[in-house]
Each structure stands twice: as C-alpha cells, then as structure tokens.
Structure 1
Amino acid sequence: MTEQRIPEPVAGFIEAVNRHDEAAFLDAFAEGGAVDDWGRVFTGREQIKGWSDNEFIGASGTLAAEEVEVSGSTVTVIGDWRSTHANGRSTFIFDVDGDRLARMTIREG
C-alpha cells in the first residue's frame, strides 16, 4: 500500500471523527451515503447516526492513519482504531463523490 497524504474529503472526515464532531461526521456523507461495517450496511443520515451513536462517534472513536492509498475516487486508509466499542488495526475504504463520501466500508486491517 502506498503511503501518501490523505486527500479531502477523507482528511476532514477523519479530523471530525477524532474530535467527536457528530454534525461534521454526518455532513461528510452524500445524500443516500452508506456505511458498511463488516457487512452490516447503514444507509442515509438516520441509519448512519444510529450506528454511530453506539459504535463510532458515540463510542469516542479515534483513528490514527498509518497507510493511505488513492485509486481514482477510492481512498483506502489503514490505521489504528480506538473506541469504547472496538479497538485494533482496521481498513477504511472511502468511495468519494465530489466533496462528500458516498460510502465508507470498514473491515479488518
């Protein structure tokens, strides 16, 4: 995996997550955006918020990026995830749509 600077909007998204800014986290997603958390898919602002309240922002999550790869409109970040819900090296795959995230997929790092 190639290491490089994290492009926007992913960099801003990670900053929002690390400061536990729920509004900025939710606003990062395009209308109809989705989160795929190990095969569980949450689509749209309300479903993403419900998931995040328990497992992401609500769990005081932080991501320390270690590796980044950019391929077209897909940005893959591998890093150390820490929260009150789950911990460990994880892979975050972001499908970018303009200045928003169309999808974030989380899987084992």
Structure 2
Amino acid sequence: VWIAPGVSMPFVSLGHPDSAVSEAGLLAAWLAAGGSGVDTAQYYRNAEGVAAGLRASHAARSDVFITSKIPCMPGTPEGALEAVRAELRKLRMEFVDLLLMHWACSAAQR
C-alpha cells in the first residue's frame, strides 16, 4: 500500500504475540518467511523482543516496515516526544516507519 511518494507499507504486519518470551523467535521466523511488516506499541512492552528478533533475523532495516504506537498518557507534545524516544531506545532504532497514537485521548487524559 503506497502511503506517501516512495513509501510503501505492507498489506499485512505481524502483531505482538501473547508471550513476550517468544517475540524474538516469532519475528525472526516471520521475516525469514518473507514477512516485512512489524507492528508494535509501547503498551505491548515488547520492544526489546522486537529488537532481538530483528537482530536474529539479520534482515536489513530497509527491508522491514515498523509501525509503533504511543499511548495518549504523555498528554503534552514534550511527553509524546519522550514516549517516542523511549520506544526507539528499546527498539534500538533511530526511527519507525509509521507512528500512531494508540487510542483517542479523553479530556481527562489531556
């Protein structure tokens, strides 16, 4: 799916499994089978497993499309930026390909 000039997003991405322990192995198998989309989120608490799976797969970063999500809870632009930076540190990446707000913010969360 083309989402911007020169930027293609896979039709299917691998989401997080029920067990954080198996994240790295499942991700490496997904990429070895030809998958290229990976879906993660700060809420899933699986960034380290995603990072380990990417390392284990030896896939080039340019061959993997990473979608991540931050929660509404940071509440401010500065808080959102810190949430992104924290997730990137755990993922051991400089960027993700698509960043989403995981859920809509209520007035109480702003």
Q: Do both share a fold (TM > 0.5)? A: no
Bigger share in helix: 2
Normalization by structure 1: what TM-score? 0.24
Q: Which has the higher contact order (CA 8 A, sep 6+)?
A: 1
Normalization by structure 2: what TM-score? 0.24
Bigger share in strand: 1
